[in-house]
Amino acid sequence: MSKKIVSRILLALAAYGVFVALVITFYDDSPAKMQWRDREDYNSQFIGKLKLEEFTFDQAITELGSPDITEAKKVAKIRYQVMFYRTQHVKSDGITTADECTALLFKNNLLNGIGKAAYEKFLSL
């Protein structure tokens, strides 16, 4: 190959490297700034990787942002909070409902349950 082609390839790779570095440094991909469809996908994938009693309430706020719906109660000095994060589109009405969300149940700030069963458990307390 000629020096001209090699130099253009190296220049293109350098430009690509600078672009990637800028995106990583300055792009804020927090869930609060995502479009609703992207946020649903992000929430669904993230929640699918969670492990019970290894994920905290504070981590949920940091990683997933504010919940779409939340409920809390205290039973016998134990704090329970259920947070709903939108994970599936059901109806285009501009309102997020519990059936469009996945529930995360926290017991004293540790993840204790995920999904419909978690919310049913919360209601039965």
> pLDDT for 27-65, tens place per residue?
656 666 777 788 899 999 999 999 999 999 999 999 999
Angle at 99 between CA 104 and CA 96, to 5 degrees: 90
Residue type, 39: R
Residue type, 92: S
Task: Indicate the pairing of strand 69-75 with strand 78-86.
Answer: antiparallel
What's the confidence (pLDDT) of residue 108?
97
pTM of the predicted protein model: 0.75
Tell me how far apart the alpha carbons of residues 39 and 85 are, in angstroms, rounded to a whole number: 9
The total number of residues shown for the chain amounts to 125
Domains in the chain (CATH in brackets) are 31-124 (3.30.1450.10)
